[in-house]
Amino acid sequence: MKTLLKGGTVVTSSGTRRADVLMDGEKIAQVGRALNVAADETVDVTGCLLFPGFIDAHTHFALDVCNTTTADDFASGSRAALRGGTTTVIDFACPNKGETLKHGLALWHEKADGKTYCDYGFHMTIDDWNDSIRAELPEMFAAGISSFKMYLTYPAMMIGDENVYLALRELKKLGGIAGVHCESAGVINGMIAERKAAGKLSPASHPMSRPQGLEAEAVSRLLRIAEVADCPVVIVHLTNHEALEEVERARKRGQKVYVETCPQYLLLDDSLYYQDDYSAAARYVCAPPLRDKSEQKYLWRGLRRGEIQTISTDHCSFTLAQKDAGREDFTKIPGGLPGVETRGELIYSYGVAKRNIHLDTMCRALAENPAKLYGLFPRKGIIRRGSDADIVVYDPAASHVIRASDCVANVDYNPYEGFVTAGGISRVYLRGRLAVQNGIVLDGPQGKYMVRGKNML
């Protein structure tokens, strides 16, 4: 099956150009001006932007956490992703302490295989460290996993500075990379205990016990550990300028550091936690928490300057009923927000259209950089001959209002309810097949597991 997209503007990391795109089977066969070729179907995309399929390198589908399970499994989560122009997700496989990485990987394949609507890969969580886990790492690379996750917070997940160092040394040898959740566990626990003792149990205590300086402290500590381990790292979901300053310091020392932020930190702020209505506030609980509105400009600036390389969502969805678990105690609110369905339209609308973020910057942050960082390039992340025919057809002239009731994610609220988009996704192609048209997901679960290579960013 050959499909020709005619009259569109192709977005790349070095700018835009008017070009037709011929897809042949699952691949892009040709990109060029006024292609005069035979195709089974020719689609007029005049006036539309053609983005490489977006990659969301940070999702949590079907995750058992906080005594419950995320509302979205791989089927509903990846369906929502696809509807939002995301043709590849990288989810976090997460063995429990005491389990092997191999077990974690098998478990994640069980959750995802045959049920996922977009293409997918896994990062592997290292939440335990010993000789047998060390010995398993080469096997992970062979299974297509080149990136790992570590936590400097959460008792169930953290492994401590010594083991973070030892794990980074091992990843350095193997050419892997680690994304790290940076918040200072000890001090945060102390602040939580203080608030609880004072009877301050509402959602407002969530951001107050996780101040941004403690994120910056953990970023700084991690980067000093990474410096002596001589290993590149990714700071996942960075939220504020103090943390970003620590990254800049490390870069000046010559370190390779990559930064991810998320739409919620670019667009939402901590005033949402200070609403009197429990449910209105609890739905925004995530870690790190939303920050003061004044932080947003630093994140946009970091993106513009290339200090922030990727925008992922950290999609970790819970229904309002699940969020109710913390009515009497803010520490029992399951942490996480949905976002996988709205990232592309939000970044276009509130970045490109409103803040003059360049299209090439958006293309890098949502597609090319995650593809390079996580070893999917050039199969993914670019519209070029030979790449997978994953294409988002974006109509800048369209507009709609974001409503939870229109979304297909399995959540009964949307953090961006009422946000008006500039433009909208009119079509999404997944490996040459029309997968979404005008907001309707057309196909069943066609997602393939992606064996990933090493970082090339």
Q: Which residues here bind Zn ion, judged by CB under 5 A?
A: 314
Nearer to Zn ion, 179 or 351 (CB): 179
Nearer to Zn ion, 24 or 314 (CB): 314
Q: How far is the CB of 232 from Zn ion (least distance, A)?
A: 19
**286, amino acid identity:** C
Q: How far is the CB of 314 from Zn ion (least distance, A)?
A: 4
Tokens of 377: 């390039």
Residue 13 has φ and ψ, to the nearest 5°, of -75, -5
**178, amino acid identity:** A
User: DSSP for 272-339?
Assistant: GGG-SSHHHHHTT--SSPP--GGGHHHHHHHHHTTSS-EE---B----HHHHGGGSS-GGGSPP-B--
Q: How far is the CB of 70 from Zn ion (least distance, A)?
A: 11
Q: How far is the CB of 300 from Zn ion (least distance, A)?
A: 22
The number of beta carbons lying within 10 Å of the beta carbon of residue 93 is 25
The number of beta carbons lying within 10 Å of the beta carbon of residue 428 is 29
CB neighbour list of residue 346: distance below 8 Å, 6 or more residues apart: 263, 267, 402, 416, 419, 421
What DSSP element (H or E) covers 239? Answer: none
Q: How far is the CB of 157 from Zn ion (least distance, A)?
A: 10
3-class secondary-structure state, position 362: helix
Residues in the chain: 457
Nearer to Zn ion, 314 or 345 (CB): 314
Q: How far is the CB of 398 from Zn ion (least distance, A)?
A: 31
Residue among 391, 267, 429 nearest 339 (CA): 267
Residue among 330, 343, 198 nearest 273 (CA): 330
Nearer to Zn ion, 183 or 412 (CB): 183
Identify the bridge partners of residue 32 per DSSP, sorted by sequence position: 20
Tokens of 280: 């209105």
Q: How far is the CB of 311 from Zn ion (least distance, A)?
A: 14
Nearer to Zn ion, 264 or 361 (CB): 264
Nearer to Zn ion, 246 or 314 (CB): 314
Q: How far is the CB of 342 from Zn ion (least distance, A)?
A: 17
3-class secondary-structure state, position 67: coil
Report the residue closest to Zn ion, judged by CB. 314
The number of beta carbons lying within 10 Å of the beta carbon of residue 177 is 24
Nearer to Zn ion, 24 or 215 (CB): 215
Q: How far is the CB of 399 from Zn ion (least distance, A)?
A: 31
Q: How far is the CB of 199 from Zn ion (least distance, A)?
A: 30
Residue among 451, 443, 453 nearest 116 (CA): 443
Q: How far is the CB of 92 from Zn ion (least distance, A)?
A: 6
**303, amino acid identity:** L
Cis? peptide before 378, omega within 30° of 0? yes
The number of beta carbons lying within 10 Å of the beta carbon of residue 193 is 12
Beta strands per DSSP E along 356-421: 391-395
Nearer to Zn ion, 119 or 314 (CB): 314
Residue among 227, 274, 279 nearest 255 (CA): 227
Identify the bridge partners of residue 68 per DSSP, sorted by sequence position: 65
